[in-house]
Every structure is written in C-alpha cells, then in structure tokens.
A and B are shown apart, each in its own frame.
Chain A
Amino acid sequence: MSMTKRRLSLKSLICIALALIFILSLTGCGTATTSNVRSYRMPNNMESIATQVIDENDSFSLEWNEELACAFIRNKQSGKIWSAPPYDIWEEGGSSSISSAIYIEYYDTVTGVLEEARSSDCVDEGTVSVTVKDKLLREEIYFSYAGIMIPIEYSLNASGMHIEIKASEIREKSSVKLISISVLPYMVSTINTTAKDSYLVIPSGSGAISYPVPDLQNGARSLELAVYGTDPVQQRVEYKVEDVKVNLPVFAVKAKNDGLLGVISSGAESAELHIESGNIRTEHSTVYPKFTVHGYDRFEVQMQNYEDENVYNDKISLSQIYAVDYYPLCNNEATYSGMATKYRENILKLDNNKANNSIYHISFIGGTMIKSFVLGIPTQKFNSLTSFDDAKEILTELYDATKVIPNASLYGFGKTGVDIGEIGGGFNFASQLGGKKGAEELEKFCEEKEIGLYTDFNVTAFSKSGSGFSTLTDVARTASLQYSYYYPLYKNIPMQNMSLAKIRCLKREKLTDAVDKLLNFANKRVSGISFSDLGHIAYSDYRNEDYFVRNNLPNQVSSLLETVKKAGHSLSLKGANAYAAIYADSLTDTPLDNGGYGIFDESIPFYQMVFRGSSALYSKAVNLSSNTTNAILNAVEYGVYPSFTLSAEFDKKLIDSYSDEIFSSAYTETSKKLICDTVKKTAKLYNAIGNSEIISHIKNGTISTTEYANGIVIYVNYGNKTVDVSGVTVNAGDFAFTERSVSR
C-alpha cells in the first residue's frame, strides 16, 4: 500500500511538473503575442480645415495649406517657409515621393512582408483628418490599406515649431505591426546644388557636413545612423563597424542664407537619422528622424533554406512620445556654428565652466585578465599592468618634466581589470594593483598635487554574478524576449568568439541599484567617478514596457548622473551622449572626426562647439594613433586637450587580450617624450583659449581656422608646405594662433 502511495505521489509530482512547464510555456506565448496597441478603426468622415494660420508670434507663424495638405512654418524675418514638401516645389504641386508628412514601415504578419507606406497616398485617398484646437494642429493619418493610424500634432513655440506623435494614440490592426515612423522626411532639406552655400549637418562623431551635390553616378548617397549608437541588446546577424556614433539628437540643413535645426526633444533613443544627399530623382538632399516603434531582433532561421528573419515584439512603449522641434534660422545663425550655439545656449542651456581644466589627460590601464593554468586546467588570472604606485610614479615624472598638472583616469583597476566581469568591477580594487590602500594613497597624492583623478566603473555590462547582481536574473531581455548576451568579435573576422565570456546587459531596473552600490563604495574612497559605459551605451530591456526600444534611457541616466553629482563626486564620461554630457566635468574620448562615412564631405567640431567650455574635453589617446602628429593637430583644431593611454608594463602574454588599447599603451621613453613634447608645444595655446567656446570653424583645404569667443584664432596646417594665413605664418604640419591680433 505504501509502495502504491509512493508511486502515486511520484506520478503526481511528474504531472504537476509537466503542468507547470506547460503553463510557463503558455505564459511565454502570452507575453509575446498580446499587442497593447489600440485597435485600428477608420471613422466614416474625415475632418478638414481650410488654409489658415494656426498660430503665430513675432518671429514665426505656423500655417496649414489645404491644397497641399501640409503644415509649415514661416520665418517672418527672412520670409523662408519650411515645410514638407519643400517650399521650392510647391508650385509644381509637390512630388508625391517627397510631399509626405510621414513615411511608415509596417510588418504584415499574414504575408510576412515588411511594407512601406507614405502619408501622401492617404492625402490622395482622402484618409487624413485635420483639426485645430487651442492653436494645436492635429493630423490623423489613416493608412487604410495597412490598417494603421498615426496622429501628428503641430504647435508653435517661441523658437519654432514643435511636432509630436504619442505612441499611446497610435492605432494598428491586429495583423500588422508598425515598425517605424519617419517624420517630415523633406522638411530639413535643400535643393541639390554644387555651390557650397548649402549643406546638411549631421552630428556623427564630432559632426559632419554633407554637401547636396547631385550624385549623378549612383543616384544618391544615403545612410542611416542610430542616434546614440547601436543597441547592444538587439540581436543581429551581421556586424557593422561603428567606431563613432551620433551623440547628439540634432540634425540640420543650411540652404543659402537660411537654416533649419531639428532637435529630437523626445524619443531620440528610439530614432535613427536618415540622410540622403544629392538624390537626383527628388533633386533634394535631406535628413530626417525615423523612430522605431515595435522593437525587433534579427535571426538566421532555417525554413526551407537558411534565411535571415526579423522577429518583432508585439508590444510598444505606450508612454513614449516622439517629438521633434524645428528651429528656423537665418543669416549668421544659419551656419553649423550658429546651429551649435543655438543648441548649446537655447536648448541645452549650458553654462560656461569657470574651473581651470588641466590641459592634458592620462588614462591608466590597471590590468587585464589572462589565461593561466592550475595543473594544466585553464583558469583566469589577473595580469597587472599599472599599479596605483606606478600611476603615482608616472604622474610625478610627467609633472616634473612638464610642470603642468595633468588630469588622470583609472581604467580597469577593479577585480577583472579592463575585462568585463562583475558590475562595477566588483566594487573593489584589485589587490594586485595595491588594493584599497594603494587607491587611498593615490587619491591623497592627487589631492595634494591638485590632479583631477577619476576612477572608472562599468555599471551596465557584466559577465559574472557578484556584488548583488546575478547573470541569471538581472539580465536585460531582447525584443524576442530572450536573455540578451553577446561575445566580443574575433579580431579578424566578423563573427562572435564564443570561447570568451558572455557579456550581458544589466536589466534597466537594476541600474539604480548599481549606481547606489557604486556610491556606497566610492563615497569613502573615490573623489572623481568616471563612466565609460553609462552615458555612452544606450540599450533596451524588453522586460518592462517603459524600456522598450531604449525608451526612457536618457531620463534614467540623467537622474543617475545627477545622483552621483549630488553625492559630491566630480564626473568624467567617455564618449558621452548629449543627455549625459551635460552633467560631466570632463569628457574623454571625444570624437575628432565624423566616423569616416563616405556620405560626409567634411568633419566639423559640432560636438566641441556644443560642449566646449561647459566641460573639459579630452581627445582619444594620441599615443595609440598611428599618426601622432595628425592626432595632435586634430585636437588643436577642435580645441580638445590631448589624452594619452598608458600602462606601466607590457608582456607578450597580452597579445591574446581583446582590448585594442593595451598593445600600444606601454609607458616608455618614447611615449614619455611624446607626452612632454605635446604638452610643452600646446600649453601656451590651451592656456590662451582657456574655457572659451568655439564661435567659428572654417576648413579650407589643408588649413583650418578656429575662432574662440575670447578672440583667439587658431590656424592648423595639415599640409606639407609653410603657409601664411591672415598674416600668420603656419609651418607645415604645425599650428599657430593669434592673441587679439598679436601673432605667436
């Protein structure tokens, strides 16, 4: 009897387990297939309004043109009209391909095809409803064949036009998914021309200009760049090199004496900038934002053959608002310098930092993990590169040699060095580098010598459980609801090296915990905090609707950085995005080029024009460059202080390291000489420009001229011949500057 009972209970247990598994599976299915988007329903009658002024102020008026069914803004000062379609083709009635207020991409779950649609077709079909209420123009665009409705609201403010689309008001049929919305595709555009009085401005890297020269050979040059870089949580099958990214949510056009600056005031983290230059079909060049609505992953799947396929998340972030502000500019403001000033002063409202910034920066690499063996069994061992004492010694040597106080950052001084291990490097210092005592002594030393010292912590990515964060439970989820992880790529082929540790992104809800723990640790030991990931990497987490498609990341990071500042720490950020950069005392690894994209014709110091003066800007490591002379000249041209990455020791064992900085970071007589020569050569210049903002920048062939608010003008000669510029002699491969008409 007892045996029978035991058997029965075993059977029951198995049944219960199976039932649980079944329920869990169903739960999974439920999450993945229930849409939270409101159902699509087209009204019987569409409302419309006549041509009229919706709102106006002293500078601008927001108007509606019934015939073209488009809203536009008129700059009263210059008379310029900015609209989609571009005003210059109004008389031709507007080409349908460029007269749309929005383009959409949607996925038809029945056919399995990703389709595109334009609002101009809805205008032709009469499925656009337009209303005005309280000076707010509302356009509801019904894509009847797709079963999607997008509401756009236009309003006027003191500086220009504001448009927004509330995700909660979007409607879609259950069989379709709205993937993206491109907003006012030909608003920020100019007619193609070979004259250099018009251009597109894109904040790729330091900033870029693309001239609207008709591309007669290939039809157009086009590019899509994700604002704030690619999402590490999104799964993909192909790898695109992205050394620099779009750090600012802005885009602009200069069209002769007028300009239009677009600023993505909400939802930038979900946006891509679509750039099209010299399109010979539309005869226009344009830049516009494309917002992703339903997040997705891309897989290799085995159907009949292997194919790449997107897997879309069914839900969208209902709290998301996609908003863009358009600022019409003219005359002096309608240059990239003027646009940068507008963004800096009127939008970010940045103050000038009155503190004395150090004119060079040293990054130390603490250590890295290397493979070692215990009885022939592989294990990871910490390999020390720069101890706290080494750092102290190097800083002393450099100070003695240059008599200039540097700024310093410590990277990889945690338990796993520069390799990603526990969150925050385990919130501890590696004992091999001197541990807490070593750190304390270095802090004290730097305080005495007035050296700004920042210790770097990684709080978003981890590969090991520890410090209260688990690789099992605290990992962000992908759009297809899987646990996100990735491996570093091989050094030579575009494939992930699965023999390395999996890197996971911390679930977004836990970011606050991570920063709290960091502050608990740092408040007693560290004066300056540096983040090389927070502020640089933007990622999604499909655990929580509020974090879909990277939603809310700027707000979340801003509040975390504010907490760090409130705790009394100075803050340094590496490769920071705009939402984070405004909190930083120093910005390292600031981009000095536009990323080298073929669509761009020139690099411009747009990033530097925005942030110079409010934070100390430091370049990428000069000593890691294969052309140090150019790297220094580049830093000088952009008003950025030079930076150097050093490690006290280098060993052959490190050839296996996946860090692309270590191998040329050894502190040797050569690197010491490079640092000292650079500092001595540039000290006078940097002291002269101080915290002044850049007010203009011109590049003419191999000569660049940068002018600062305090009257200093710098000339940089990249050529191989000495030249005279405005009475100043600039040697080949050198720079010179004038101090209020007094040449050096």
Chain B
Amino acid sequence: MNKNLYNFIVNKEHHIYRRSVDWNLGKEYSEKGLSPMERMADRFERMMNEEKPVILPDEKIVFLRTVSNLPDCFSEQEWEELREKYYIHELGYISNFSPNYYDTISVGLLAKREEAGEYGKRAIDNILKLSDRYLEEAKKQGREDLVEILTQVPRHPARNFREALQFFRIIHFALWIEGNYHNTLGRFDKYIYPYLKADMEKGVYTRETALELLEDFFLSFNKDSDIYVGVQQGDNGQSMMLGGLDENGEYIFNLLTELCMEASCNNKLIDPKINLRVNKDTPKEIYIKATHLTKAGLGFPQYSNDDIVIPALEKLGYEHNDAVNYAVAACWEFIIPNVGADVDNIGAMSYPKAIDTVLHDGFMECETYEEFFAKVKAEINNECDRICAGIKNLWFVPSPFMNVLMGCNIAEGSKYNNFGIHGTGIATGADSLAVIKKYVFEEKTISKQKLLEAVDSNFEKHSELLPLLRYEAPKLGNNDDYVDSIATDLLDSFADCLKGRVNCRGGIYRAGTGSAMFYLWHADEIGASPDGRRAKEPFGTNYSVSLFAKVKGPVSVIASMTKQHFENAINGGPLTLEFHQSVFADEDGVGKVAALVKRYIELGGHQLQLNTVNTERLLDAQKHPENYRQLVVRIWGWSAYFVELDKEYQDHVIARQAYKV
C-alpha cells in the first residue's frame, strides 16, 4: 500500500477537507410539503453538489466525503408523527441490505438509467455530475490514470480490475450520501475476480501489484467511516463476504479471496470487515490462511458454515439459488443480496428475562423442572407475541438510488420480507435453568424460597449460594450434556414460538442466536440471576458462554455450542472464541487454531468469530489510550478501535475469556 496515503488517512489528516452544512432540511421540506421520495431526491442532489472533489496525493481509488453531516429529511415533529402512524425501524432509513453493486458495475449507470424510473434517473444523473467533477479535478491535477478511469466509469461498464474497484467505491459512496446505512458489500470475490483474472492474464498486474491496489481500495473504506452511523465507531456494516458455494455447488476460493485476506491483514484497519463462508470440505490450507488473518487481531474473518446456513434458509422458504448466494448484513445476520429486504434485527428476545419473569410468577407453584420449563417457554411465547404484535405497518423512507440497485421500491419490500429476532443471554439462561433443575428440583438442596431471596437480594441474603451457583454449578461450555441440552431446549423453544407467524409484510420470523448490543441493555432489565450472575453484570455477546463461567477450554466450548439445532434458528449470531496472542506465535499454533476452526465447522457449528487478545494490553490501553490508537478488538459483530469505545464496551471486552494454551 502507499504508506504516505495510509498514514494520511489513519492520522485523519483528510479531515481538513471536511466541513458541515447547516441546512435545516426537515423544516424546509415540511414547509414545502414534499413527499418522502422527493425529499430524498432533493437532499441527494444538494449533498452531491455540495461535495468538493478532492483527490489526495497518489490516491488510486478516489471519492472522499467532504461534507461531514447529513441533515435529516424530516423534522422532529414529523418523525413523531411518523412513529405514531407507522412502525419505524431504527433511524427509519434503509439499512442492513446488500444491494447489487456488481450488476451495475458490469453494465454501467447509463444502462441502469434506461430502465430506471424518474427518481432513479435523477439520482444517477447526480452521481454522474459529481463523477464528472472528479474527472475535471483529475485533469487539473494531470492524473491521466484517473482521467481514463473516470471517463469510462461509472457511466459505462468497468473494463478492468481498477475500474471495477473505482466503480464500487462510487456506488458505495453514493449509497451513504443518500442516507442508506450499513450498506453491506456482498460476495466481493465472486463478482470481482473475473476482472482481476482477465487483467492478470494480460499481465497488467502481478500478485504484488494487485495486492497493493486492493490495499488502497480497502483503505478507502476507512476514509469516511467515522461519519457513518452506528452504535459505536466501527459499527458501520461494511461487511464483505468471501468464499462459499456458488449456484453449481462449486466452492469459491480464488486469488482475490486470498488477496482480500492479505490486504486486510496488511492494512490492519477495522474496515472492510472480512467474512468467510466455509463448509466441512473446505481444505485445511484455507483455514490456515484465514488463521493468519485471525492472528492480526482484527477479529477477521468471521466464519459462516454453508452446510448449516444454506439448507436452513431453504427450509424457511428461500429458493436454492438465493440461499446459495447468502451474505451477511452489518454484523452476521444471513441475508440475500440484491433481492432480500429482510429486516433481520427487528427485535430481540431475552432468555434470562423470560426465566426471571417465571421465577417471580409461577415458580413457587411448580412441582417439577418440566413444569417450570414449560412456563418459561410460555413466557418466551408471550414475549414473541409482544414483539411481533408491535410490528405493524413497517415503513421505511424510500430510497431512489437504492431502488436502482435493487430493482424495486425497496422501502416496500422485495422478494424476501422476513424479520429476524435476536435471542440474548442463552448461556445465562441455560446456566440459570441448570441451577434450578439440579439444586431445586433434583437434589433439593436449595429451596425455591431461598433461591428467590438470594437472587432478589443480589446474593446479600444466603450469600454462601453465590460462589456455588457462580463457580461450581454446571455451566454451558464444558461439553456437559446436562446444561448443553438445556441450551438446545431454549433455542428450540424460541424457534417454535416464532414458527408459523406471518409478519406485516407477509414474511416469516427468524429466530437468531445473536445479541447485537442487547447483551448490555437486556442485562439491565433484570437483577441478579440464578446462575450466580450479579445485578448489572452484562450477558455474553451473541452465542457465547457466560462471561464468568469456568470452562475447561476451547475444545469443550465448541463441543457444547455445536449441539444445538441451528437449522431452526438461522437468523445469525456467532460463537465467539478468543485466544491469547501467544497461541499464534508460531506456525504450529496457527495450525492448531485452524484445525480447531475446521473441527467446529465439521461438528455443525453455524457461525464463528474469533480473535486474539492480550488482556494486559487492553488494561494498559484503558490507562494510556494515546499509546494504543490502532489497537483493534472484536465487538459483537464488527471490530473497533478499542480506545474509541465507551468504557462499558471496553470493560466487557476485558472481561471476556481468553484461552491461553
């Protein structure tokens, strides 16, 4: 990569080109009484016109955000009214979809303009206008290479690797300015490799020069990302899906797949986020290459198992050719690029809360564990009722350019309109149920009353129970069928409770194993729990073991966490494994981690994120953030610069278990 450009971006020096606009568009548009579509079109036009073409020295992939804010299209009052009238998901704008970059790259925007409606044409024209201004700037700077590229793209089809990358950048740039967010990147290696292949056959690139260009392309995802919306810095949905089966059942793993992992490793930046689809036949060499990326400590790649995901999607009604092309949304939800309008993060169900509810209403009357579990399942069902009943009249702000890329009025839905609901705190839930089953109902060594008093008093009463429940009771993650089967029952119950429900768009509901950020919020909804978790302690993220559980090691963890029936609950949500940095110190260690990941997939695990950590470094980084600006950690589905996180997220990362081997 170009070191100067890299440092320029990493040191945020390009921010000098930014300014903000003080337009009150919400007020203006509401006074003019403009339709949502008209507002989006107008805002896009104005924002694109306001952009100043900036070409940084030696920059190969251009387009840089120079306006740092995006005024909302609606006023506060209008949003209030909209939220009264409709179900508004998150910010109300289109998010978490994977639009069809690749088809556009191959035909050009002029061709797309032919088939587009009035608003689509307008959006395309505005993109071409800015692109032409970049072309002028390139001429002014004597950048012949860019002149040639921008004369061709984005009007016309990309003819080569660099044009394809530049075209991609322009599309992605435009999507964010339009106000769509978490615009995920889709199956990049599948569609872009042909361009690279042709160029390499012509001798235009060597492996090294192709890698250099790719590094610059990857760098471009980090230029504007601090402007993008998200829960924390890094939560921006720039997720790339590599590998996986194609429509003919062939496993895709080409030179570009390899180069993407290397570029990510060399850049050591948090974007783009690398995901890799694998299956039980994926050769060990691929896992080893991927583990070299894991070693870099970025939390990449996140693995998804085709053997589990594809059949599960088909079981839910996705057509084979769509299921086979799945990608991930911002974090890990399985979505279908181009034709999927699934809203996969529309709600979240807390297992510990369901248990807590029954603990306080129904527990005392139960004579057996089975009775108790039945009540918990009923409560999960109640919670699903509440979540689903609340989602009526889903409405999104329409998105003209997104419509061009997805071939329909995406705000109203597309071929797939399913909703996904996360399931948080499964370990806390399973461990709590194990305690109740073992000590209350089987061994009868703790009375119901005593347990309830202990939990409600945050273990101040009957304090001798805390270490027993917290450290000595059976825990999920130790390859102990006693607890593992309870986790299976919980996931099955959740899936059962969503089965047969039809959502307001005619789609279904998908149960998931993720938590997103709910692992903090849901944990605050209840007090202490029977597994010895104290009040205010968070749950683990996604599909992981309890933060404080004493587990034997990563082998036991993967054994426990692959027993469940993911084919029923395929919204997404990975197991997280973390290893101490020292594990990767030599090839032998790398090979063994790779073997473990392969084994996880063979055992039927559905999704895995792993990372290297060094707790000592993290603690030091909290004290001296200025020394750790580039330290990256994996959060719940994306990676972040540790020092930019809020403290509660930092603390959670530090509290996670790291396997030292």
A and B: bona fide binding partners: no
**Chain A interface residues (CB < 8 Å from chain B):** none
